[in-house]
Amino acid sequence: MYPQGVGVQRFTMSDDEFMAYLDASKITGEVATPRENNLSHVQGFIDGNEHLGFGVKWTRSWTYDDVFEVMTRRVGIVDDPQYRTGQDTISARLCVEALRRYARIFGAAVREKKSLLFATGHPAGLFPIYAQMAYAARSRGAQVLSIREGERFLDGDLRQIFDVVVFEQYGGLQHTHFPGPMSLALSQLSERSVVPDLVIADHGLAGFAASAGIDTIGIADCNDPGLFVSAEQGHILEVVPMDDNVTPHLYTPVIEFILTEAGLI
């Protein structure tokens, strides 16, 4: 993956070409997540599993069938409830439509010089997207917020690398669904009387911020029902359905699409 700001080119694919690329790279289409995992995560969300709740505060009751319907409509998983095993899907069309809205929200925030907070619970996959977005935002005069590194969470701590908040544990950057890192980051900022104008994140870091009433945009995989429920409740402004852990270089066209649609390249 190229360093910040290096090698980023203006996006030139048509929507059809982009959707074909997303399917070919397994960012959408028949993705790596099996159907069994998707369905178990829907049930886990309903059951209140902390790992799957993503810090999302419910504003209504949710049933398994309710959440399943949201996932078919917002993500494009297979809509047959009797389909229980095998590969599941993410719609490239839904991904591109959401990604365009996501980019335009981001672009407007940058042009208005708003304060932005970037964070990820998937540093092995999504980190380069946020790092490039943060670089573009900062270089155009938006306020990219910094946190105090080293605050403890579980038996790890918070780090901020290339302006992106991440969770470190045992010497490595960790995949986490928990909302705790975002809760700590926002608490730190509140000590300085700062509230982000826009949070750009995923997993529980996005879900917690959105439920706290902060404008938030996010990315979520087909086994992450929490953020799509947040969107259905009108909390998170936009959530993009796509595989969140392909090898980072495959996200290069996604980065270029975002920055081009945002009017930043």
- Judge whether 224 lies within some domain: yes
pLDDT band at 5 (very low <50, low <70, confident <90, very high): low
Work out the mean pLDDT of the chain and round it to a whole number.
96
- Judge whether 187 lies within some domain: yes
Q: Express as a percent the part of the chain with pLDDT over 90.
A: 95
* Average pLDDT of span 20-30: 98
Give the model's pLDDT for residue 130.
98
Q: How far is CA 72 from the centre of its chain?
A: 18
Give the model's pLDDT for residue 20.
98
- Judge whether 6 lies within some domain: no
Place of tokens 């429920």: 229
- Judge whether 1 lies within some domain: no
Instruction: Report the residue count for the chain.
Output: 265
pLDDT tens per residue across span 114-132: 999 999 999 999 999 999 9
Tell me the two tokens of residue 168.
């470190």
In the chain, how many domains are there? 1
Domain range for residue 129?
15-261
- Judge whether 3 lies within some domain: no
At residue 189, what is the residue type? L
- Judge whether 2 lies within some domain: no
- Judge whether 185 lies within some domain: yes
Asked if residues 163 and 134 have their Cβ atoms less than 8 Å apart, the reply is yes
What is the reported pTM?
0.96
Give the model's pLDDT for residue 6.
62
As a dihedral over the C-alpha atoms of residue 147, residue 151, residue 153, residue 155, rounded to 10 degrees, the angle is: 140
Give the model's pLDDT for residue 14.
98
* Average pLDDT of span 256-262: 98
- Judge whether 176 lies within some domain: yes
Q: Give, in degrees to the nearest 5, the angle at Cα 217 between 39 and 44.
A: 20
pLDDT tens per residue across span 184-224: 999 999 999 999 999 999 999 999 999 999 999 999 999 99
* Average pLDDT of span 133-146: 98
